[in-house]
Amino acid sequence: MSARIDGAYYDEAQDGARLTTQLERVRHVLEDGRWHTVAAIAQLIDAPEPSVSAQIRNLRKEENGGYTIETKRAGGGLFVYRLVRGEER
């Protein structure tokens, strides 16, 4: 399965190359503000779960944008993640 990237403001000509990296694809999924499991993100972007988990950690680093990624327990040892936009912090 290949990555499916879309959205109201997505333009393949302008955004396609930028969203090709795994880090950017993870960020793009999390930007919708909804809660996501690592497994769901991995399936959406066709990446291994450990890589998705690593990219979530990388998104929190200043050199990668210092994004605020919230984490909460979903039960049964499962965690969910979402990106909080600047104005929501």
Domains within the chain, CATH numbers bracketed: 34-88 (1.10.10.10)
What is the Cα–Cα distance from 83 to 34, expressed in whole angstroms? 8
Proportion of the chain above pLDDT 90, given as a percent = 69
Q: Yes or no: say if 49 and 38 are a contact pair by the CB < 8 Å rule.
A: yes
Structure tokens of 43? 């399936």
Q: What pTM was estimated for this model as a whole?
A: 0.74
Proportion of the chain above pLDDT 70, given as a percent = 80
Confidence class of residue 1 from pLDDT cuts 50, 70 and 90?
A: very low
Structure tokens of 85? 């936009």
Q: Which of 11-15, 50-54, 70-74 has the lowest mean pLDDT?
A: 11-15
Please state the φ and ψ torsions of residue 47, each to the nearest 5 degrees: -135, 155
